Structure 1
Amino acid sequence: MATSESESKGKIITCKAFVANAPGEPLVMQQILVQPPQKMEVRIKILYTSICHTDLSGWKGESEPQRAFPRIFGHEASGIVESVGEGVKDLNENDKVVIVFNGECGECNYCKCEKTNMCEKYGVNPMKRLMCDGTSRFSTIDGKLIYHFLNSSTFTEYTVVDSGCALKLNTEDILSLKKLTLLSCGVSTGIGAAWNNANVHAGSSVAIFGLGAIGLAVALGAQARGASKIIGVDVNPEKLTIAKAMGITDFINPRDEEKPVVEKIREMTGGGVHYSFECTGNVNVLRDSFLSCHEGWGLTILLGIHASPKLLPLHPMELFDGRKIEGSVFGGFKGKSQLPNLATECMKGAIKLDDFITHELPFDEINKAFDLLIAGKSLRCLLTL
């Protein structure tokens, strides 16, 4: 049981967390110590958290050349601010917040630039494993350091994050907060890729490679922008039903096709799509995605996490055909200043978040949630603390 909130302000909290002690080993529930927030930090009581493939990759030890364990993973979550550190002016105790892994300080050159959503201080950095001052806010009961993950670490009853990574939401409805948890990563990344990075236009054609939560969010974003043909590519036939419900107009399973996927898509679209989105993290799929775009104007948005050291499978001269490729981080959204508009649209029903929540489990069953994701049976499994 976590320390009482009324007694916790400014003190160390003892609470329950799921800790990864080694790559690929089941997460272990244990009591940990959580330090008070330091300057420009907030401590948050987590209410809901979920798992995405980035957590899976980090847990397996795939995404970093130097693995940091023990560690608390998780980066999609919502909760309530328990206490604030020195200098924090835009957040207060009891504020309802969504945690974002790609933060925004609002003061650096990156934040002031309209052409990027990166932040010099709080931007996502997969190699970062401690707070900005080089220390951790987590430890075991006997004082052993526990590492942070992606500016977030949400598989715990309480976490500490930089204030630039916590987005205040104007909602008194806890059920709304539950749904808006999905804006922490996957849904925002997919919709933003369609709206901000690609700027999908009405009547356009789109191909999406990989129909997990991010790929399906791309589909919804493209549908909202009026795309006329949205082709989904996935090797899991079970994705067909939900894909159709989320805007996919045509479904291709490469294992069922006699022709290469690129050739199939070009035939369907008169030479290729306007926009393609690579959501798998597979370099061979990236090549298919790129070549599925139309010569002269096709744009590929790279969303998949490529942990492998393999380089882009493109010949430089292929870029002279007029196709372009662009990477997307958090869908191009500036977390603090732009994401509230998406939250408002979701609350109005423009984007149906409920469809992404395929499973709900208590926090204690987090390892089952990992199994569901690995088996390809869930989009988002929401864990309730």
Structure 2
Amino acid sequence: MRDLNLSARDLLLQLFAAAVDSADPAQTVARHLPELPRGRVVVVGAGKSAAAMARAVEMAWPDVDLSGVVVTRYGHGVPTERIEVIEAAHPVPDANGAMAAKRILQAVSGLGPDDLVLALISGGGSALMTAPAPGLTLEEKMQVNRLLLASGVPISVMNRVRRRLSAVKGGRLALAAAPARVVTLAISDVPGDDPLAIASGPTVHDPDGGADLSEIVDQLGPDLPVAARQLLLAAPKPIPAFAADYRLISTPQMALEAAAKLAHAAGITPLILGDALEGEASTTGQVMAGIARSAALHGHPVAGPAVLLSGGETTVYIGDVKPGRGGRNTEFLLSMALALDGQTGIHTLACDTDGIDGTEDAAGAIITPDTLTRARAAGLDPRAILRGHDSYSLFDRIGDLVRTGPTLTNVNDFRAVFIP
């Protein structure tokens, strides 16, 4: 049992830890494993949790003759004995990710109906397991990913593009494994827990495979590679429908509920605002500031002491500005701090549950009523820093980054706003 006699800052960190702990593959994988087949067991997977999930499978099935390969982000690998772990780049794919996708497709080929393919899928799998569609090079796929990340489009739109340009996503991995039985264990990092959106759905049928993508093609602009443009605008070859055994083992909502349980035990009223809050990061920060101020001043939507909990994934639109160092959570927080303008008592944490906010080395940060005062005392201009997308640098300078290292799980972003 945690010590519940906490400062506001410590409380927020404990809530974040509870959310992350709830999605630990070591605690969740074994409860969802299928019965063993008469034939072979092949384990494949992709995502920031793939290696930790693979190790959990090995521990749950110590005497099972199994093999396989999974791909995870650099620095997220863990020791395994029977399942090979490959590390690759995220969020922009690299050659290791392409090699891993090839090895995964080879691992599931030539199987029979008595064999089992256990697919371990988690957030980040879209970039990590990259197999460009025929006619598209890896370099062109990488350029598309860069354009998507800078575009500010919702993650659902990003994944729609990624599926169209892939030889493995949108159910194509499951088709490659046929006629073997495919069982997927998934850790959700997406709003709404749509299996098609988690790592772009390599083991689920894509009913949206023929959607008109001309609008996003226009939004990505003239830097979109010609081959990618042609693939996105052309009528795709239909993918046959198939049944999927898909098991969600951890979700953002479960993480929020774990944090709410801890808050309640500490005598603080938890209010879950939702697990799927999306939007531009700085705008979402302004909205959250308004909700927090209402709670502090008027007791609506909840009276203090309370904590507002939310999940989801915001986006950052870069535009023509040369960005500094930042992530969506630190950008959200800096915008919120500016909107609160020193409002008494309100403390907020926003972190990515995988331990990495964007491409930096921190999970996120914490804001306090004196965040802006301390930043200005350090010679920083918070508003100019927000415009330059350099929020990481501000929080690093004033010592308010949250650094956990890779958590080996990923249930999207976690936000907690403490109201005294």
Could you say which TM-score interval applies, normalised by the shorter chain? 0.3 to 0.5
More strand by share: 1
Q: Which of the pair has more CA radius of gyration?
A: 2
- So what's the TM-score if we normalise by structure 1? 0.34
TM-score of the two chains, using structure 2 as the length reference? 0.32
